[in-house]
Amino acid sequence: MRHTLSVLVENNPGVLARVAGLFSRRGYNIDSLAVGRTDNPAISRMTIVVEGDERVLEQVIKQLRKLIEVIKVSDISREEHVDRELVLIKVSAEPEKRGEIMQIADIFRARIVDLGRRTMILECTGNEGKIRAFEESLRPYGIKELVRTGKIAMLRGSRYTNINGTREDE
Amino acid sequence: MKLTAAQALVRCLELEQVEVVFGLPGGAMLPVYDALYHSSIKHVLVRHEQGAVHAADGYARATGRVGVCMATSGPGATNLVTGIANAYMDSVPLVIFTGQVPTTQVGTDAFQEVDITGITMPITKHNYLVKDPAALPQIIKNAFHIASTGRPGPVLIDLPKDVAQATIDFYYPEKVRLPGYRPNYQGHPAKINQAAELIRRSERPVIYAGGGIINAGASEELVQLAETISAPVVNTLMGLSSFPGDHPLFLGMLGLHGTRYANLAVTECDLLIALGARFDDRVTGKVAAFAPQAKIIHVDIDPAEIGKNVLVDVPIVGDVKQVLRALLPLLDKTDRSRWLARVQELKEQYPLTYSREGGLKPQYVVEEIYRHTGGEAVVATDVGQHQMWVAQFYRFKRPRSLISSGGLGAMGFGLPAAIGAQLALPGKQVILVTGDGSFQMNIQELATLREQDLPLKIFLLNNYKLGMVRQLQQFYCEGRYMAVDFKFHPDFVLLAKAYGIKGYSVQSEKELQEILPRVFEEPGPVLVDCLISPEENVLPMVPAGRGIDETIA
């Protein structure tokens, strides 16, 4: 079972190493990890996708909370949420194939962000399933390179994971 | 007030009422030592940095206060690593200062540079690399708070030399600034009610008490609980001394080398009340066979310990003293004479014994030390067979009277830790029981002992062996003894003499009895080299991978 954790941390040097070190040391598997500053520059948010059963997840969350610089940990995959990844794919695109590739891009609402003599770079955002489908659609043309971000996620509606104690409603 | 950061550091220590600092200076620490020159804080110069951190650890264990030590950059810092890991495993509050190369050289593989914050990340509760000199006072404030609250642990502060030399506007902040650190002390009332209900319904409860009792200062509450609900008490190694060793409800230590009656009581109980203990593998043996009939209440200050190794029925996150204080009024005095009779039967059926035939027995030495000190001494140990014999045969009276490396099992801990404890408790008799393997791992600290002129009494249980490993090889390697015999030892009595310490050698009960009064009358340090029967095993023993009810006696 995979879970998406939203982790608010103090924006200090070394905090990423602490979190990453914790996962490797205790043998937890990180599927993906995305870090960025929040609207408060002193605080960063890590979105961590972790694989494991309930017991592993409980330990991961408790161990994360033990880190002094971790302010808040929420398992947001338990609730309604939006999650997104972004992928850049460089695909072989001989002139006669470009039309087909552009149609695929249209279907997935992807954007063409670079056009070389024999390649194109496409940018696509979406949830994991969509990104996977997009990648599969382009595979027959020859994927030269693929770069993707980790997942980022946010609760739906007026619920949010803020730093003032527990999760709040309106 | 304008101060250098190094002067500010010393001022902060004074304001934290630090009395003793253990350390060994070096290039990167020159500014700090220069500032210490003008301070009233006592600095104890050790002979190896590992001695400094173990001594600070012994000081902290003996008093419950934060132990402080310091070392220079590079090798000074790496020499601390074992001691930091040791303190981390046993939840001992320490603040550790290391020197660092100047910030302009950090990351360049400079002389005596090592990334000590990186190295100690998994073995500190938290650590800091100070880059902004003005931030140092707040960092020190935070460090003492983190080290001593919640589940205690070591905090390391790495201080680059140029940062230490920089001038700052000093003031010591009143408050910590730690948005992500809020230990929970009060147990959840609903859970405490559930615990009370389980206790009321239980016919055969056992209290399993660990080091958390000592850290929380909850010994009185523990005794009250045991007496109120008529439950026998078993201790972990770290928990020893939290419950009076001569109390009729006391069953001694459980686990790998625990008493058979402690292990069997846990096996037969219908309710296990775990207080400040963490279901360590040396305690549980095969987890599936651990307290198989029991519901489990688990009280711990560290939420991550609950449900880690064993699933529990009533989890209570909180300070065990506060939780017990909330729980006790909910409980009525209960008579469980049938259960206590059964426990008494186990005690009589499987007593803790040894044969006095065949030379001087280590268990006898421990019993004699107990007899001579009336259980009033603070006993430090090293790690190995002697440690288990102390755990089994010394009956501790008061909390913090056993100082021993539990989780890490670090040989070499004993001597410096005993020095730290004796410095902390000048009016108390501190005793070190050590082994010939462990003792030689930090033997250089005999010089520190002499220099500090401490009345420490050292009993060296000498079997010319790495005895615990020999025992393991006997049981698990069919007696193929590999690298466990010392074919050469120094003459330990002469060695003590070389350090200006009085030494005796004994190899019989009679010789031991003759010298013991003299040992304890001696105002200074004494070493007693006890040549014990060399093949003595620590028994009982739970074979690897077995349940704790399957002991070899």
**Can you tell me the mean pLDDT for A65-84?**
94
Reduce the secondary structure of B203-217 to three states and give it as a string.
CCEEEEECHHHHHHC
**B183 in a structural domain:** no
Give the integer Cα–Cα distance in Å for B29 and B69.
12
Same domain (yes/no): B379, B307: no
Q: Average pLDDT, stretch B465-472?
A: 98
Same domain flag for B9 and B62: yes
What stretch(es) of chain A map to CATH 3.30.70.1150?
82-152
For residues A74 and A5, is the Cβ–Cβ distance under 8 A?
A: yes
What pLDDT does B455 receive? 98
Domain with CATH 3.30.70.260 in chain A: 2-78
Same domain, B155 and B301: no
Is B164 in the same domain as B210?
no
DSSP labels for B441-452? Answer: TSGGGHHHHHHH
pLDDT at residue B223, as a whole number: 98
B421 plus B511 within the same structural domain: yes
Is the confidence at residue B154, as pLDDT, over 80?
A: yes
- A30-A31-A35-A39 Cα dihedral, nearest 10 degrees: -110
B356 assigned to some structural domain: no
B74 and B122 inside one domain? yes
* Same structural domain, B433 and B508: yes
Substitution target in B121, B128, B129, B309 with the highest count of A β-carbons within 10 Å is B121
**Predicted pLDDT at A78:** 87
Q: Are residues B134 and B259 in the same domain?
A: no
Q: Is B537 a domain residue?
A: no
Neighboring chain A residues of B118 at a CB cutoff of 8 Å: 17
Segment A83-96 shows an average pLDDT of 96
HEC string of B334-366 equals CCCHHHHHHHHHHHHHCCCCCCCCCCCCHHHHH
The domain that contains B215 carries what CATH number?
3.40.50.1220
Mean pLDDT of B220-232: 98
- Boundaries of domain holding B420: 362-531
Q: Are residues B370 and B514 in the same domain?
A: yes
The closest CB to that of A18, out of B121, B129, B307, belongs to B121
Q: Does the structure show a pLDDT above 70 at B282?
A: yes
Read off the pLDDT of each residue in B121-150 and give the average, rounded to a whole number. Answer: 98
Judged by CB atoms closer than 8 Å, whether chains meet at A70 and B125 is answered as no
Q: According to CATH, what is the number of the domain A82-152?
A: 3.30.70.1150
Tell me the CATH number at B8. 3.40.50.970
Within 8 A by CB and 6+ apart from B353, the residues are none
Whether the Cβ atoms of residue A169 and residue A78 lie closer than 8 Å to each other: no
Check CB contact of B125 with chain A, cutoff 8 Å: yes
The per-residue pLDDT for A165 is 43
Cis bond before residue A140 (omega within 30° of 0) = no
Residues B205 and B307 in one domain: yes
Residue with tokens 């405490």: B192
Q: How far is CA B246 from CA B250, B333, B397, in A?
A: 7, 21, 8
Per-residue model confidence (pLDDT) at position A164: 57
Q: Cα(B209)–Cα(B272) distance, rounded to whole angstroms?
A: 10
Q: Is the pLDDT of residue A166 over 60?
A: no
Regarding the domain delimited by A2-78, which CATH topology (the fold level of the hierarchy) does it fall under? Answer: Alpha-Beta Plaits (3.30.70)
Which helix (H) or strand (E) covers residue B417, if one does? helix B414-424
Q: Is the confidence at residue A170, as pLDDT, over 50?
A: no
Rounded Cα gap, residues B136 and B170, in angstroms: 9
Question: Which of the four pLDDT bands, split at 50, 70 and 90, describes residue A163?
Answer: low
B520-545 average pLDDT score: 96
- What is the percent of chain A where pLDDT is above 70? 95
Average pLDDT, chain B: 97
Mean pLDDT over residues B55-60, rounded? 98
Q: Is residue B175 part of a domain?
A: no
- Which of B181, B303, B308 has the CB atom closest to A68's CB atom? B181
| Residue B543 within any structural domain of the chain | no
Q: What angle do CA B101, B103, B106 make, to 5 degrees?
A: 65
Residue-wise pLDDT for A113-148, tens only, equals: 999 999 999 999 999 999 999 999 999 999 999 999
Asked if residue A168 has pLDDT above 70, the reply is no
Give residue for tokens 């940018």: A123
Residue B340's pLDDT band, with cuts at 50, 70 and 90, is very high
**How far apart are the C-alpha atoms of B386 and B247, rounded to whole Å?**
24
Where residue A114 falls (left for φ over 0; alpha for ψ -120 to 50; beta otherwise) is beta
Q: Per residue in B171-194, pLDDT tens? A: 999 999 999 999 999 999 999 999
Q: Is residue B221 part of a domain?
A: yes
Query: What pLDDT digit, counting tens, does each position of B479-511 carry?
Result: 999 999 999 999 999 999 999 999 999 999 999
Number of domains in chain B: 3
Mutation target for B interface from A10, A68, A69, A162: give the one with most B CBs within 10 A.
A68
Q: Is the CB of A21 less than 8 angstroms away from the CB of B117? A: no
Task: Give A55's contacts in chain B (Cβ within 8 Å).
Answer: 307
- Clarify whether residues B259 and B318 are in a common domain: yes
Whether B302 and chain A come into contact, CB under 8 Å, resolves to: yes
pLDDT reported for residue B553: 79
Q: Hey, is the C-beta of B287 within 8 angstroms of any chain A C-beta? A: no
Which of A44-53, B74-83, B115-124, B398-407 has the weakest average pLDDT?
Answer: A44-53
B526 — pLDDT class (breaks 50, 70, 90): very high
Q: How far apart are CA B172 and CA B19, in angstroms?
A: 18
Evaluate whether B24 touches B45 at the Cβ level (below 8 Å): yes
DSSP B285: B
Q: Report the percentage of chain B scoring pLDDT > 70.
A: 100
CB contact under 8 Å between B303 and A62, yes or no, is yes
Q: Could you report the predicted ipTM of this complex, rounded to two decimals?
A: 0.91
Count of alpha carbons within 13 Å of B256, Cβ hemisphere only?
Answer: 19
- Residue B77 near residue B25 (C-beta atoms within 8 A): no
Which of B119, B151, B181 is best to mutate for the A interface (most A CBs within 10 A)? B181
What is residue A158's predicted lDDT score, i.e. its pLDDT?
Answer: 78
Nearest Cα to B442, choosing from B408, B464, B479, B415?
B415
Asked whether residue B392 falls in the same domain as residue B515, the answer is yes
The confidence score (pLDDT) of residue A1 equals: 83
Q: Is residue B461 part of a domain?
A: yes
Reference A33, options A22, A20, A43, A18; nearest CA is A20
DSSP A66: H
pLDDT band at B157 (very low <50, low <70, confident <90, very high): very high
